[in-house]
Amino acid sequence: MILKGAERAALTYTRIRRDFTAKIVFGLEFFIAGDVLFTVLEPTREELLLLGLVVVIRVILGYFLAKETTEFDLDAEPAPK
């Protein structure tokens, strides 16, 4: 009975962490789109360089967060019999 509750808590934590990570990746994509739109409206050399730097950083963060989400999905799958 106690073990069943412990497994349930671990599964809940993993699910919450995976869902939260997926939402962060989705939000980063919106921030990138917003920065691109803002820079298109008022382009200067400094803003273009800053946008490039921000996009690169966010893409790297998004890649590793998506990779972590995929690893959670693989860990959550039941082992084949």
SS3 73: helix
* First vs last C-alpha separation in the chain: 25
- What Cα–Cα distance (Å) separates residue 22 from each residue in 16, 48, 50, 80? 10, 28, 26, 26
What does the pLDDT look like over 55-80, one tens digit per residue? Answer: 888 889 888 888 877 776 666 655 55
What does the pLDDT look like over 6-34, one tens digit per residue? Answer: 555 556 777 787 788 888 888 888 888 88
